[in-house]
Chain A
Amino acid sequence: MDIFRNLIFGCGVALTPLNLVYCFLGVSLGTLIGVLPGIGPVATIAMLLPITFKLPPIAALIMLAGIYYGAQYGGSTTSILVNLPGEASSVVTCLDGYAMARQGRAGPALGIAAIGSFFAGSVTTLLLALFAPPLAQVAFQFGASEYFSLMSLGLVAAVVLAHGSLLKAISMVLLGLLLGLVGMDVNSGTSRFTFGASELSDGIGFVVVAMGMFGFAEVIRNLESTGTREIFTSRVHGWMPTRADLKASWKPILRGTGIGSLLGILPGGGAILSSFASYTVEKRLAKDPTRFGQGAIEGVAGPESANNAGAQTSFIPLLTLGIPPNAVMALMVGAMTIHGITPGPQVMNQRPELFWGMIASMWVGNLLLVVLNLPLIGIWVRLLTVPYRLLYPAILLFCCIGVYSINNASFDVVLTACFGILGYLCHKLDCEPAPLILGFILGPMMEENLRRAMVFSRGDASVFFLRPISLGMLVAAVSLLFLTIIPAIGRKREEAFKE
């Protein structure tokens, strides 16, 4: 079969000693920066661009790609260990992963994350090889109305994510939406909520909000309640997932891979949604949804697979069309251009060694990551046994350095502190940060697409219902909303009756 011949050809390219070395370098570096809060693959790849000049193009691209998905692995490590999401897609892992860590189960959490990610990576590599061009065409079916409906579905999923009061969850989503609107409005050029600060004209950075509300708030919360009890129990329950864990996780991993592969193809935000979508699906499908948020391993297995799948399939628009779906891919386009490769539909034909070599190296990279990360779990778990009073200044310091390094702006660090205060308030008032973050991410995209769809249709709102994909997603969103609200109302009435 042609595909297998191509894959073997690609493996031949990926497994040359030079490319292997650079693959390893890339994934190691990616893991490192994924672990370090704040510093992300965008900054690192930008810094390394000059160095890649001296490398042959394929080695350079393999390394840069390794950094990208290596960072996904590393990001989930900090989410689980210290409730710090390194990337937007790792936020969901904080919910149950960190809870597991606090119960002494950081090892299994990290292990399942690695295994799930590896599985997802392998499957999507195959998908890429087989279906890259047709999958790219799927993305074309998504216009502004479809994106808007997808985001609406995502927002309903945000409400489902929460496990407290429904009203408060919706309010947090709304607050997140509003925070996401800070900055210059793409459709009109007006700067909103910026108070004249040009640092805000591109909006509040995700890292700022996440570090503040998840990281700093968590540190404050832990310091308040310490007393003599340690934050992480020193009774570590093993380093690896148990058989029961694996049994519970394999279906979420499969579902997560599917969800992530589909969503990752959509340029502009598809991959971010994958982990949130997977979490929602798992929560809905679970026999006992109340376990979610308290350390349910499905809440780690599914989203981790989803976000790795999404990260890999986001290469599809890049490799088949030359369109970068996110900031990291845009850098890859730059790197390709600098090396004299014109990204575009013809890369597959004109530079097959590049196309197939990269696909094969993605699988190699995933393998290297698992090999690299599984032994590291022991080290991470031991790190958690360091007394918290020594750990938290380190967490604070690394967060500050990481946030500062994004734009070399003290402003960002101060803003993060403000979000720390907000996170603290929310914790005191029993409001969950996860729906806010999801609203924050989705808000601007939703509004942008809503307005754009209305401009396209010249003010005709029926366009959202007349286009099939859009209609389908809106129906799903409404159904999901009802499925969530009705039992909740039922429960409230039961409680009222009991009193």
Chain B
Amino acid sequence: MKVRRSFVLALAVTVMLFAAGNVFAQSYPTKPIRIIVPFPAGGATDIFTRLISQKLTENLGQQVLVDNRGGASGIIGTEILVKSAPDGYTLMITATHHAINPSLYKKLPYDTARDLVALTLVATSPNILLAHPSFPANTVQELIAMAKAKPGQLNFASTGIGGSNHLSGEMFKSMAGIDMVHIPYKGAAPAMNDLLGGQVSLMFDTPAAGLPHIRAGKLKALAVTSAKRTAIAPDIPTIAESGVPGYEALSWFAMYGPAKMPKEIVTRINTEVAKVLHLPEIQKRFADLGAEPVGNSPEEFAAYLKSEMAKWAKVVKDCGARLD
């Protein structure tokens, strides 16, 4: 009798907790949500986050605020996320850096696998291989031939060591078997400036940055880094089809939360974000910027994250890049 009663009691409590958890999730959010963006305001990650947070604020009825905490390739902001309470009111959206940092840094102040939970893949974006119009090669094939004929003569700019445009270049070098000198800059603007001025020959950059100059004739596009041609610039061939089969390097943005977030909140956030990402207005704005909204499930994204981390780890190891 007693056992049965305590069993029923335990069952009742469990059911109540479960219901409360769901009710909790259903009533979530009850206060403003903070999305950390570990990069300065105005950058690509920041813009995508602001576009989404505006819509989320409308849908959820609670303020969704963007909190810029830039520094150290996103590490400072990530650290803050990891230390926050896993109640669903502090989230983070960051870029490919997150998957690359573990292989670049000897020591991170958090454990990428254990301290965060992957919520969803927000968007992916290819990079465009840009060149100054006076650059002799017009296609990737010509570029490879040029590089092989005169090794070590070509330069390519990047927005910083370990960024996705640096490593896209390194991957390209190793897969095409050519040698180019990497010139790192502090950010996109000085790099783009030198590219436009013809000081540096090549650069991998986002469509948002590159397309206006291509359309104005100030730069030319040699290829895109995605596996398939992109919708916003269908006449630019991919690197994969231009002589380096199997090449794919995407920039992507994703949302994370601190580890140990309740499952119901994870699911709720995932559903809401996916809903926003499928809005036609958001689809259009993202497409204008050269990105493709995704909004997949936490499990799908976690698998993608793992594969990306492995891929970039290999590229980093091959080229020997290191940050500390």
A residues sitting closer than 8 Å to B (CB atoms) are 42, 45-46, 49-50, 53, 139-144, 184, 186-191, 198-199, 201-202, 267-268, 317, 321-325, 327, 329-335, 337-338, 340, 342-346, 407-408, 448, 452, 455-456, 458
Contacts and interface: CB of A to CB of B under 8 A. Distances in A.
Contacts of B66: 49-50
Given A338-B47, A338-B50, A143 B288 contact: no
B216 interface: yes
A202 B72 contact: yes
A202 B71 CA distance: 6
Interface in B31-52: 40-43, 46-47, 50-51
Contacts of A408: 69
B194 interface: yes
A53 B184 CA distance: 34
A467 to B, nearest CB: 11
Given A345-B216, A346-B216, A49 B41 contact: yes
Contact of B208 (A317, A324, A342): A342
B42 A335 contact: yes
Contacts of B70: 202
Given A139-B197, A338-B47, A455-B181, A345 B212 contact: yes
A330 B184 contact: no
A334 B79 CA distance: 25
In this complex, the interface size class of chain B, counting residues with CB under 8 Å from chain A, is: 35 or more
B223 interface: no
B41 A46 contact: yes
Contacts of B289: 337
Contacts of A452: 183
Contacts of A338: 47, 50-51
B319 to A, nearest CB: 12
Interface in B163-205: 181, 183-187, 189-190, 192-194, 196-200
Nearest to A333: B42
A268 B190 contact: yes
Contacts of B181: 455
A139 B323 contact: no
A394 B98 CA distance: 42
Contacts of A455: 155, 181, 183
Contacts of A458: 152
A188 B104 CA distance: 12
B285 interface: yes
Nearest to A136: B196
30 contacts: A46-B41, A49-B41, A50-B54, A139-B197, A141-B197, A143-B197, A144-B194, A184-B72, A186-B186, A187-B184, A189-B322, A189-B324, A190-B323, A191-B323, A202-B71, A267-B193, A268-B193, A317-B189, A321-B196, A321-B213, A322-B213, A324-B42, A334-B42, A337-B289, A338-B50, A338-B51, A344-B213, A345-B212, A455-B181, A456-B199
B183 A456 contact: yes
Contacts, number: 141
Given A50-B66, A337-B208, A139 B155 contact: no
B162 interface: yes
Contacts of A143: 194, 197, 199
A131 to B, nearest CB: 18
Q: Chain B binding site: helix, strand, loop or mixed by DSSP?
A: mixed
Given A330-B40, A456-B183, 19 more contacts: A45-B41, A46-B41, A50-B54, A140-B197, A143-B199, A184-B72, A189-B184, A198-B71, A198-B72, A199-B71, A202-B70, A327-B40, A330-B187, A334-B46, A335-B42, A344-B212, A345-B213, A345-B218, A456-B199
B76 interface: yes
A80 B322 CA distance: 45
A448 B187 CA distance: 13
Nearest to B182: A455
Contacts of A188: 161
Q: Give the interface centre of B65, B200, B322, B324 by most chain A CB atoms within 10 Å.
A: B324
Nearest to B218: A345
Contacts of A142: 197
B109 interface: yes
Nearest to A318: B189
A189 B161 contact: yes
A340 to B, nearest CB: 7
A198 B190 contact: no
A184 B197 contact: no
B165 to A, nearest CB: 14
B75 interface: yes
B41 A331 contact: yes
Interface string B80-112: 000000000000000000000000100001000
Contacts of A49: 41, 50, 66
A333 B69 CA distance: 19
A309 to B, nearest CB: 20
Contacts of A345: 212-213, 216, 218
A97 B66 CA distance: 39
Contacts of A198: 71-72, 75-76, 79, 109
